[in-house]
Structure 1
Amino acid sequence: MIKMQVIGNLGKDCVVNTVNGKNVINFTVAHTEKYKDSQGVNQERTIWVDCAYWTDRTALAPYLTKGKQVFAEGQPEVRSFTRQDGTAGASLSMRVRDIQLLGGRSENTVGGGSSYGNGASAGNTAAASVSSEADQIDDLPF
């Protein structure tokens, strides 16, 4: 088995489709790498990964919006195609197994996030209960 992981921002809002009675959430993740070329000039390269998340957890879809930063893990697939001008092309796609929301440019919060996939689900409720418990400890006189 080959495993692929990508951290990046969503290029556009996700789309939920139903194929043969099963739900799939389709989205595209852009990962940008910065590097120096052989002349020492700073360069940027963006790799776009088309993602398909086959799941019944479509309640996640409203959170997968343009600019949102995500961590996605799954199995890579390379698709070859022929362009309209007759030249060959290829695209990188991933069949998502797990996804974690990391944040976005419009959010003011740092860290935190929610994880979805293979029965693992974590929300911010646990963090909220821990912080309220920590506030109570601060009231102790010693």
Structure 2
Amino acid sequence: MAGISKMTIIGNVGADPEVRYSQGGMAMCNLRVAVTERRKEGEAFSDHTEWFTLVCFGKTAENAQKFLKKGRQVFAEGRFQARKWADKEGKDRVSLEVVVSQLIFLGNGREEGVGGMGAAGSFQAPQTDFDPSMGYMNEDVPF
């Protein structure tokens, strides 16, 4: 029986994305995204941040470089994978990453730390049926 590996992340981009291309011409982009949760510890609250590496391909990668800047909030959905690789000394390493199937730019791109969205900041994030309060895509509902 086949299994499912799916992650959904809403967080802030940690650095401006940079696209690179494979030998076959496929655009690729890694994004570091911070997800911060506020937790109550005793009488005080503290922030706890987890960092995720998102891997984008094709037009998604090119659009990430074109429209995303450090600090911009994103919604990402994709499959979780462990990628094995060798470092400069030849030691085996493992990177945990999310291979993005859907990337939505949230906010208006004018938040602090976000620039380069055009003189008037006129870029509009793609319109979707996503309702954050419901936690799912309306078109995925089976009725």
Paired with 1:4 and 1:23, the residues of 2 have a C-alpha distance of 22
Give the match for residue 29 of structure 2.
25
Deviation digits for residues 67-89 of structure 1 (CA, Å, limit 9, x no counterpart): 11100100112458999xxxxx9
Paired with 2:15 and 2:54, the residues of 1 have a C-alpha distance of 12
Residue 14 (1) aligns with residue 13 (2): no
Give the match for residue 75 of structure 2.
71
**Residues 78 and 36 (structure 1), Cα distance of their counterparts in 2 relative to 1, 3 Å cut:** farther
Paired with 2:57 and 2:94, the residues of 1 have a C-alpha distance of 22
**Residues 36 and 61 (structure 1), Cα distance of their counterparts in 2 relative to 1, 3 Å cut:** same
TM-superposed deviation, 1:113: 2.3
The residue type equivalent to 2:105 in the other structure is L
SS in 2 for 1:114: coil
Paired with 2:38 and 2:53, the residues of 1 have a C-alpha distance of 21
TM-score by length of structure 2 reads 0.62
C-alpha contact (below 8 Å) 1:48/1:92 kept by paired residues: no
Q: Which structure has the bigger radius of gyration?
A: 1
C-alpha contact (below 8 Å) 2:17/2:64 kept by paired residues: no
Give me the identity figure in percent: 31
Equivalences, count = 108
Residue 114 (1) aligns with residue 126 (2): yes
Give the match for residue 65 of structure 2.
61
C-alpha contact (below 8 Å) 1:10/1:29 kept by paired residues: yes
The residue type equivalent to 1:93 in the other structure is E
Consecutive unaligned residues of structure 1, counting only runs of 5 or more, are 84-88, 121-142
Deviation digits for residues 103-128 of structure 1 (CA, Å, limit 9, x no counterpart): 2424799xx6226xxxx9xxxxxxxx
Consecutive unaligned residues of structure 2, counting only runs of 5 or more, are 88-92, 115-119, 129-143
Give the match for residue 128 of structure 1.
none
TM-superposed deviation, 1:59: 3.8
1:130-141 paired onto structure 2 within 5 Å: none
Higher strand share: 1
Higher helix share: 1
TM-score by length of structure 1 reads 0.63
